[in-house]
Amino acid sequence: MTEIRARFKLDRPDFSLEIDVALPGSGVSALFGPSGAGKTSCLRAIAGLERAHSSYIEVNGSVWQDDTRDFFMPTHDRPLGFVFQEASLFPHMNVRRNLEYGMKRVAAARRRVSLESAVDLLGIGPLMERPPESLSGGERQRAAIARALATSPSLLLLDEPLAALDLKLKSEIIPYLERLHDELDIPVLYVSHALDEVARLADHLVLLERGRVVTSGPIDSLLTRLDLPLAGGDSVGAWIEGEVIGYEPNYHLLGIEFRGGQFHLPGPPRRLGQRVRLCIQARDVSLALEKRSDSSIINILPARVVEMRDDAPGQVTVALALGDSRLLSRITRKSADALGLHPGKAVYAQVKGVAIVD
């Protein structure tokens, strides 16, 4: 089994970081937490830019640091790509020369990502001859990620790559990050304080607070745990991964199968078998004790109440199990009492198709 092991301590006069995690050796693992939680310091320690102590860092069988053997691999020898919040392209080079500079770090025999592949994945073909100063913020970040990929890294570190972008530019670049997730077999550590980004892109989540790991695990299970701060706020909801199993052209309706049933939602046709990630907000999930057939709601699935939490005055958030998947519902306290809800109770979760976002 491939994995990333990171154990280290970092002490500063006003801050201490103590990390011990095992992460999947593939996909996207996100480090999430408030400002000052230690997210960027984690990336810098893994990259060797910060010399942490009591350290052991291993990436898919390759040891980068082991203080018990007094072994420390310098940053320039670690096969990693690092993209910061600011793109940091070389201003005196056009985009092509920036990417070629990255490729020079890797011997030809070790190259796993070609220049053409990096350019295609990030959609920067039309930008190759342009200087960085002529690019938008989103274009600069795409070029910076392509340059990092051109080094054929064993690990890609992304430190809040969207933080400096406005909402429009963020929406433009996220599909390219999703392509990296779907098409490249390179593990990614992604730092962000924006939960919507993390939920959309990550497979695994590490929740940090004051330099310590609060919890670590698959993101779909952590986002719906009511004992964690992730399931708070007005936009609380669940992200469910599934695959396209059908399309009704007369109704422009997609069928998505997930671990717990099927959802149907309007949208353009998709390739059968395509993986999708659905966002379902808790306020869009209603509950019933019986399955209704005289309703406009087409997604009605059997579920079981797992846990409940009182939130804003008069409101209750209910965590539901749908097979191996979890969903959240936010209803009034009066409705919860009327239905006699309690952990273990069988219910039906009702979700309007137009309320599901992918």
Instruction: Considering only residues 337 and 178, tell me which one the structure prediction assigns the higher pLDDT.
Output: 337
Say whether both 226 and 243 belong to one domain: no
CATH of the domain at 131: 3.40.50.300
* Mean pLDDT value across residues 88-98: 92
Say whether both 323 and 196 belong to one domain: no
Are the C-beta atoms of residues 200 and 190 closer than 8 Å to each other? no
Instruction: Tell me the per-residue pLDDT of 291-312, one tens digit each, with 9 for 90 and over.
Output: 988 889 999 999 999 999 998 8
Say whether both 195 and 257 belong to one domain: no
Say whether both 112 and 193 belong to one domain: yes
- What percentage of the chain exceeds 90 in pLDDT? 70
Say whether both 279 and 141 belong to one domain: no
* Mean pLDDT value across residues 238-248: 94
- Residue 172: what pLDDT? 85
Say whether both 324 and 246 belong to one domain: yes
pTM: 0.88
Domain boundary among 231, 247, 269: 231
Residue range(s) defining the domain that contains residue 329: 237-355
* Of 38-47, 163-172, 243-252, the least confident: 163-172
pLDDT bin (cut points 50, 70, 90) of residue 196 is: confident
Say whether both 61 and 171 belong to one domain: yes
- Residue 1: what pLDDT? 60
- Residue 2: what pLDDT? 85
Statement: residue 234 has pLDDT above 80: no
Domain boundary among 231, 257, 291: 231
Instruction: Tell me the per-residue pLDDT of 264-287, one tens digit each, with 9 for 90 and over.
Output: 999 999 999 999 999 999 999 999
* Mean pLDDT value across residues 318-323: 95
Count of the separate structural domains present in the chain: 2
Instruction: Considering only residues 125 and 112, tell me which one the structure prediction assigns the higher pLDDT.
Output: 125
Instruction: Tell me the per-residue pLDDT of 199-214, one tens digit each, with 9 for 90 and over.
Output: 889 999 999 999 999 9
- Residue 41: what pLDDT? 94
Domain boundary among 231, 264, 281: 231
Statement: residue 233 has pLDDT above 80: no
Say whether both 162 and 206 belong to one domain: yes
- Residue 210: what pLDDT? 92
Say whether both 205 and 292 belong to one domain: no
Say whether both 201 and 252 belong to one domain: no
* Mean pLDDT value across residues 172-187: 88
| Mean pLDDT for all residues in the chain | 92
Q: Give dist(CA 217, CA 275) in Å, integer.
A: 21
pLDDT bin (cut points 50, 70, 90) of residue 322 is: very high
